[in-house]
Amino acid sequence: MIGIFLLTHATYGESLIQCACHVLNKRPPQIVQLGMAAQDIRWTPCPWRAKC
């Protein structure tokens, strides 16, 4: 069985899963989502820029 991992913006992934549940009348097996926002990402400087 194939699993599906959704990495989406905020709650968009959960909304997609809810739509699939509505169409299938049950939650698809082996599907998970992780919602992220810009604040969740820690940016590292590029190596060619000045070092901190």
For residue range 7-39, list pLDDT tens digits in order.
999 999 999 999 999 999 999 999 999 998 878
Residue 46 lies in a domain: no
* Partners of 36 in the β-ladder: 9
- Asked, for residue 28, whether it belongs to a domain, the answer is yes
In a domain, 48, yes or no: no
What is the pLDDT, as a whole number, of residue 40?
Answer: 79
- How many domains does the structure of the chain reveal? 1
What are the CA-CA distances from residue 45 to residues 2, 38, 39 (Å)? 36, 16, 16
Question: What does the alpha-carbon distance between residue 29 and residue 1 come to, in Å, rounded to a whole number?
Answer: 9
Nearest to residue 7, comparing CAs of 31, 29, 27?
31
Residue range of the domain that includes 20: 4-38
Contact predicate 12/37, CB 8 Å? no
Given a cut of 60, is residue 51 above it in pLDDT? Answer: no
- Asked if residue 32 is part of any domain, the answer here is yes
